[in-house]
Amino acid sequence: MRRWLIASLLHVRGAAIAFLTQNERLASTVLPSVFWWHVAGLLLAFLCGFLVWANWSFHAAICEAVNPGMIYDDEHWPKFDDGTKRWITRTHWTGIASGLLSAICILGSAVQTYCIMPA
């Protein structure tokens, strides 16, 4: 699910830039004013992907300490590292935030385009 969302953010950015560059009028009037919205959105989408990857890597590190004996005996429960649990929380929420900010850049670009287009 998350890969699909991140891929969608990246495709929207790439398609928007490609569309604007293929039309001379749009490339000269619209692209200069919205270019940085798309660059920021791309960077935030890549950051979101990196943070999701880091989050799942931290989850995998915690799961390495799991013992099958924990199914029937509480004594076998691993002692999870508090630092790793904090990083899981941090990467989880910052990944969500960077994905939302990337999506907001789409709205920023649309508003910017609307404001500069002639009536």
**Helices and strands counted in the chain (H then E):** 4, 0
**In the prediction, which pLDDT does 51 show?**
94
Question: Which two tokens mark 37?
Answer: 């919205």
pTM: 0.78
Check residue 97 and give its pLDDT.
96
Query: Does pLDDT of 100 surpass 90?
Result: yes
| 2-60: pLDDT as tens digits | 666 777 777 777 777 777 778 788 778 888 888 899 899 989 988 998 999 999 999 88
Span 92-103, average pLDDT = 94
Q: Decide if 45 contacts 9 (C-beta within 8 A).
A: yes
Asked if 99 contacts 59 with a C-beta cutoff of 8 angstroms, the reply is no
∠ Cα 70 72 73 (to 5°): 65
The pLDDT tens digits for 74-88 are 887 777 778 888 999
Say how far apart CA 46 and CA 44 lie, in whole Å.
5
